[in-house]
Chains A and B, each alone.
Chain A
Amino acid sequence: MASIIAGFLDRHYFLIRRLHSLTGVFPIGVYLFPHLATNSSIVWGKLLNESKLPAGQLESLGIAAHAGVETFQHEVNFIHSLPGLVLIEIGLLWLPIAYHGLLGIYFAGTGRSNVDRYRYQDNWRYTLQRITGYIGVLFIFIHITSLRFGWTYWGLMPAFDPQAAASSTAQHFQQSTLGTTFIAAFYLVCVLALVYHFANGLWTAAITWGLTVSVHAQRRWGYVCGAVGLMLAGATVVSVIGFSRLDIDAARQIEQVMRNGPAGAARHVEPGGSDVLSASPDGRDP
């Protein structure tokens, strides 16, 4: 078996390596932008958007308006409204991630870090790229299985309900038996690792593909990648704080209002056509 794999690798080595590089940037890396933009909308939605719910309704429920919950729910709804979502998920996410992750583990195993002897910044970068890769693979597996397939990991990871996006995510953060701090830290470390992995990968990909040849070009592109990384890192921190501190009950009520519409009873049909009321009560995605 090993020799078959080795033979295959030899024949298509370059294609396999370049696909590995490519998938890291697109679609996986690029996907980080909408994903983290959506997540952080729990905060920027609150700061930038006005609540679209009818005035007075929230007051009558005794809670403050929270446009973040609305924005986040809106974004989630949009995603879930995409036609052939599962196919998109498989083709553009799960397969590329599996390819990039599994081969990445294999390729990372071909090197041996030597930062103990050569303490150059770039060498740390190289080493971190591999460590963050390992973290990323592990994290993404947990992340997908818990939030997409509802594995709760013995209650450590309360599940996600796309109909109650903000509140269930906040639950996921706050109601774990490990405590909010631990989960927040867990997400912070793992997502920042992925953000680093992407930003640095973007930098090295430009060398791999030969876009940045001169040292100057590499340095300039490094600034761009650094800025991208900082931006994504900011979104990550904001998201984690946002969900760690969200008032779950209030969010749930807002979501309920959004689901039930202004009248509170009328069936509300999302643009994509999925019937929000048909969502199962435990939040499992059908």
Chain B
Amino acid sequence: MVAPTTEALQTRSVRFRIKRQDRPGLPWRWESFDVPVEPGANVISCLQWIAANPRTIDGRDSNPVAYDAGCLEEVCGACTMLINGQVRQSCSCLIDQYAPKDGDVMRLEPMSKFPVVRDLMVDRQRLFHALTRTKAWVPIDGTYHLGPGPQDTPQSQQVRYKLSECMSCGCCLEACPQYKLEEHESRWDKAFIGAHAISQARLFNEHGTGNVLASDRLETMIGPGGISDCGNAQNCVKVCPKDIPLTESIAAIGRAVTIHSIRKFFTGK
């Protein structure tokens, strides 16, 4: 349908093997595309090229690959997928680093822990649901002017800032051996909440006002699907694109629930 652009002949090409599924419930298949890559190209620019030239290596006309994307500078978390089997953002995946030679193969798959919507696009609603479960907010009185927030030392600010950089991309969940695909919303409240939400619980428990809800958050962490489901494989911290100290958060919440439950045992609260 679309003539290949002329630059196809001028640059080296990389083969993209893409796991495709037209919609939920339909079988998936692999499709391969040869994509000419310019220096500085990333997975997104290659997917854009495929969208404009959707012809597979066996010459069959296909259609653009569906995928999520947003900022393209690794702060929005949208374009997360499996690249050569490993979860990461596709925008920051530079072809020259991943597939340096002509004819190298890049394998793209959707995340496996979330239901596929189409092709590389998945439904990560459960991830945001976990933030609601965690009450990941500061319960302010309202938007009227009531002066500044609680005092914060630079040290504590640095800790909170790091935790607050979590962009809900889901890498930590994808790589977690304890986190499993749950298609149905009804199961979300009891399935493992995941490292990101545990870390958010820590973030808000450390805030002067956010702390008001600390016990609610710890109760969630104590319940089914809470922190006890962590198996300490520590993949989360290694795949986190923002280098958030997730395992420290898990240990910190571990300590908090230990104290919380002992206190609860003796005071009944």
Contacts and interface: CB of A to CB of B under 8 A. Distances in A.
Direct contact of A and B (CB under 8 A): yes
Contacts of A111: 177-178, 231, 233
Interface stretch (A48-56, A190-198, A201-209, A232-240): A201-209
A48 B255 CA distance: 43
B232 A208 contact: yes
B258 interface: yes
B261 A14 contact: yes
Interface in B237-263: 238-239, 245, 247-248, 250-259, 261
19 contacts: A13-B222, A14-B228, A110-B180, A111-B231, A114-B235, A118-B235, A120-B235, A122-B232, A122-B238, A123-B233, A123-B234, A204-B232, A209-B255, A210-B254, A210-B256, A213-B248, A213-B252, A214-B248, A214-B251
Interface in A7-31: 9-10, 13-15, 17-18
Given A10-B223, A112-B180, A118 B232 contact: no
Given A13-B223, A117-B86, A125-B233, A218 B247 contact: yes
* Secondary structure type dominating chain A contacts: helix
Given A13-B226, A14-B226, A118-B175, A210 B235 contact: no
A37 B230 CA distance: 33
Contacts of B250: 207
Nearest to A113: B177
Interface string A109-133: 0111110011010110111010000
A207 B227 CA distance: 11
Interface string A80-106: 000000000000000000000000000
B224 interface: yes
Interface in B162-201: 175, 177-178, 180, 190, 192
A211 interface: yes
A145 interface: no
B229 interface: yes
Contacts of A210: 251-259
Given A117-B85, A120-B235, A210-B255, 11 more contacts: A14-B222, A14-B223, A14-B261, A110-B192, A114-B175, A118-B238, A120-B234, A122-B232, A126-B232, A129-B231, A210-B256
Contacts of B223: 10, 13-14
A212 interface: yes
A128 B230 CA distance: 15
Contact of A18 (B228, B230, B234): B228
**Interchain residue pairs A-B with the least CB separation, the first 8:** A210-B255, A126-B233, A17-B228, A210-B254, A122-B234, A14-B222, A204-B232, A213-B251
Interface of A: 9-10, 13-15, 17-18, 110-114, 117-118, 120, 122-123, 125-127, 129, 204, 207-215, 218
B4 to A, nearest CB: 34
Interface residues of B, number: 36
A15 B257 CA distance: 11
Contacts of A211: 255
A214 B251 CA distance: 8
Contact of A126 (B228, B231, B255): B231
B174 to A, nearest CB: 9
A39 B231 CA distance: 32
A182 to B, nearest CB: 33
B248 A215 contact: yes
B229 A110 contact: yes
A109 to B, nearest CB: 11
A229 to B, nearest CB: 16
Given A10-B224, A120-B235, A114 B177 contact: yes
B251 A123 contact: no
Contact of B177 (A10, A14, A18, A123): A123
Nearest to A203: B232
A140 to B, nearest CB: 21
Contacts of A215: 245, 247-248
A118 B234 CA distance: 11
A116 B245 CA distance: 24
A122 B233 contact: yes
B234 A209 contact: no
Contacts of A117: 85-86, 175
A248 B178 CA distance: 49
Contacts of A123: 177, 233-235
Contacts of B245: 215
Contacts of B234: 120, 122-123, 126
Given A10-B224, A13-B223, A209 B175 contact: no
